[in-house]
Structure 1
């Protein structure tokens, strides 16, 4: 009986470790559709499609920290060649959303000759900045170490994110090989550097004339701009953009607030002759990537850019 009781206590402790934070489910494709359908009555939520040329491996454990398990899902072209990889980060204001929301996008892109990974990372109600950045960089290292399992060319990795995930993707790509943004780990010899950035409607600067970030950003950054000005600056990709920044694609809605800092970043990229593209989807809402008629356009811009950069 004592062994059984001890086992139950251990199981209970493990479950509590996994769920001792608030799970925010407010941001979903359905909630986006319900919000936008009055303004855009012609829209529909993208539905799953069938793909005969991709393999899937889900719920892969890439990190465990104090009992907290972090997982990723892999979708990769079954062509038995080394393909460029895309690390995909969901949106949700750094506090909501989950990796499964990007599944259809990952499947579609994988079917075109890529290896795609949707990443679970810790959100603001569980852990503050820069924890999520550490998580994703650790996932990138995991993918490189296990590249052969997923038909990945470890020298051709892009990071792509949507909304807050786009902000994170840009920050991750602009801080390649920056030790300040790497969680200290023993025997960590694999670089988390990426070779391309795709920012889909994610801001590039938290405090900027074009920016309207406030309480939600402050929740992730650990305080308001007045309380944490240096953190707001540090967490902005624009702060770190320099001659080492990889080629970058910006895919934007027609909502200007989600372009904050973009033109300033492009000016720096152009100064150093770093390849970049801007694709603006006219008359589109934020979170357009969940919706028809913009889903296929987003996929096309993504794959065309990566084919140009990698292939």
Structure 2
């Protein structure tokens, strides 16, 4: 080995150890702004990759660094990174057990027996496959239609995308609403999830809505209800069962999903799924998270048009937790304990309100997960969430 490489290699090995530790540290660090939030979201989800990266950097440091001080520093970096990543991996099994318990408490000990065998056969067989973290989750063949305009309120063309099973038939309808702080996003979001569900035997409708601040609440809710009515009217065209419909949303989309499903005059909805959805906008404004990367108060003002002190009634109307006063569809709530946009405490509040009112409700909380954890479709958190979400959906669609 030349003298040049003897000089460069130790520093490259140190850089590798530092980089692996830096990326792993975001499993523990809370992102202070939106620019850094992807690191906080992604790091725990790719913890198997980071574990291997830290392991390799430890090996490289041990073999390639000859100076004692540099070797010690690099090895310490790598060992700390391994411990951080391992803190996620060792929690997978107990978290899965807690989720299984929550499902049985909410739906009954024998809820899986109510799912038809031909439906169960298409679902994931285990909550977490390590190999899927590296190769991805198999999706399956589907049919996909885009650019379907379902309404034009105030001259705004609202469209939807439809994901259908590969064979012609009549399938349960899953309506999916994207997130984006009510200000951004489109129906093309989360295509892997939509394709996955369509391949499992559902017609998936990914719908659009108008954005704040140009369009204030309740414009977004009106658009979702319009989409639901459009789907019911055109169900036969898209091979969907209008009497067998579930709504699923993420973040602001989950907020709209709950509001739409809980309306007194809502079309028949068999269940609603909320991935980290806001439920109490007044409390969200008054006690924003710390850190607050999205600037919660500014986002809520853009949606509602002012503060709760100025528009108290409008905030109450826009908060799903205030609708738990009559029979409601079964609700699945999925939150990350480390969410710094919509804190998990709101999921717990919603679950308690529903449970105490005698409603069917399930809360699945993932200890290491940040907001939008399922953006990494084959990530650790989404594998767990997907496993139980598809079982909840199958129970809701086929339980009679």
Q: What's the TM-score, normalizing by structure 2?
A: 0.61
Aligned to 1:255: 338
Change (3 A) 1:80 1:266: same
Q: Match for residue 160 of structure 1?
A: 248
Compared CA separation, residues 38 and 84, structure 1 to 2 (3 A): closer
2:126 corresponds to? none
Q: Which moved more, 1:197-206 or 1:250-259?
A: 250-259
Q: Mind listing any 5+ residue stretches in structure 2 that lack a counterpart?
A: 1-34, 50-132, 289-295
User: What is the deviation of 1:169?
Assistant: 1.1
* Deviation for aligned residue 1:273: 3.1
Q: Tell me how far 1:47 sits from its aligned partner.
A: 7.2
Provide, for residues 231-267 of structure 1, a one-character-per-residue CA deviation record: whole Å limited to 9, x for no partner.
Answer: 1111000111233210000011113643354334333
Q: Distance in 1 between matches of 2:396 and 2:281?
A: 28
Structure with the bigger percentage of strand: 1
- Alignment of 1:274 onto 2:359: yes
Corresponding position of 2:178: 90
Alpha-carbon offset, residue 223 of structure 1: 0.8
| Deviation for aligned residue 1:168 | 1.4
Q: 1:151 aligns with which of 229, 232, 239?
A: 239
DSSP 3-state at the match of 2:255: helix
Tell me what 1:59 maps to. 147
1:223 corresponds, among 302, 306, 311, to 306
1:272: Cα distance to partner? 4.4
Deviation at 1:35, TM superposition (A): 5.2
How many angstroms does 1:211 deviate by?
5.1
Aligned partner of 1:194 in structure 2 is 269
Asked if 1:208 is matched to 2:283, the reply is yes
- Residues in 1 aligned to 2:183 and 2:252: alpha-carbon distance in whole angstroms: 9
**Would the alpha carbon gap of residues 268 and 39 (structure 1) be closer, same or farther in structure 2, given more than 3 Å must change?**
closer
Higher relative helix content: 2
2:187 maps to 1:99: yes
- Counterpart-to-counterpart distance in 2, 1:227 and 1:221: 10
SS in 2 for 1:138: helix
Contact 2:148 2:161 in 1 (8 A): yes
Aligned partners of 2:45 and 2:380 also within 8 Å: no
Residue in 1 aligned with 2:391? Answer: 304
CA contact (8 A) 1:94 1:220 kept: yes
Structure 1 residue 130 displacement after superposition: 0.5
1:27 alignment counterpart: none
Whole-angstrom CA distance in 2 between matches of 1:50 and 1:160: 19
Aligned length: 268
Structure 1 residue 161 displacement after superposition: 0.8
On the 8 A contact 1:85/1:156 being kept in 2, the answer is yes
1:203–1:260: 8 Å Cα contact kept in structure 2? no
CA RMSD of aligned residues (A): 2.7
Over 3 Å counting, the alpha-carbon distance change for 1:88 and 1:193 in structure 2 is: same
Q: Distance in 1 between matches of 2:134 and 2:208?
A: 22
Tell me which structure has the larger Cα radius of gyration: 2
Q: Which runs of 5+ in 1 are unaligned?
A: 1-29, 178-190
